[in-house]
Amino acid sequence: MPKTSPYQPLIFRLLHAANGLLVLGSMVTGFWLYNTWDYRFGRLPLPEADSKWLSIHHQIGEIVSVCFAAFLLYSLFAGRRRLIQLKSMKQLPYLNQPSGQSALHRLINTGLLGTLLLSMVSARQFGGAKALMNSEWDNVWYNLHVFAWVSMVVLVVAHVALGLRVGGLPLLQSMVNLQVRSKDSPSQWPRRLANWFHGLVER
């Protein structure tokens, strides 16, 4: 376990926190809606959700779409080392070793991006509030949306648990650290973005 907290880029911390909170909100409201109208696979003894929560869940999803687009771009370029790579596939069988656990963590990170994308695409394809209130449980897109929700719950738990196992408390502290290095200041973002685009053009 590392003795000091690693430094996480400010833009990553902001995007990660925003997406994390919004996804948590969509997961909670999504389950409450399921628990009120669907509950084919069981339900909890919770108060029934008012119909206005259908609109709230939809609005959270719209905000998630914007934040996710920014986070996805960051993850595919600046944060690609946190996603699954070819060498990671060779390390996966060795889960008793740090390299194997890190590879699994990257696979989970990639899976989270994929299931969140599936959740947003499927949400736009089925009838939303109308389909839910009309009990259209055979709607393929609705079932894909539920599948994406269940997958995200599992992957979020695994993401946090394995993150603590791989990086320990210092990794958790690095995600909420308010420290900002001078080269990571928002005032430097336009220059770094310009350099990044310049590098893409030269490739």
pLDDT digits (tens, 9 = 90+) for 15-65: 999 999 999 999 999 999 889 888 888 899 999 988 888 889 989 989 999
Place of tokens 């919004």: 22
Residue 140 pLDDT: 87
Q: What is the pLDDT of residue 155?
A: 95
Three-class secondary structure of residue 181 per DSSP: coil
- pLDDT, residue 86, reads 84
Distance between CA atoms of 190 and 22, rounded to whole angstroms? 26
- Residue of 16, 18, 110, 28 whose CA lies nearest to 63: 18
Give the three-class secondary structure for 105.
helix
Q: What is the DSSP string of 136-154?
A: -TT-HHHHHHHHHHHHHHH
pLDDT of the residue at 128:
64
List per-block mean pLDDT (blocks of 10 residues) for the chain, which spans 203 residues. Answer: 74 93 93 88 90 88 92 88 87 88 93 94 77 76 90 94 85 86 83 69 57
Structure confidence at residue 203 (pLDDT): 56
At residue 15, the pLDDT reads 93
Residue 56 token pair: 């709230």
What is the model's pLDDT at position 2? Answer: 46
Domain ranges in the chain are 10-178
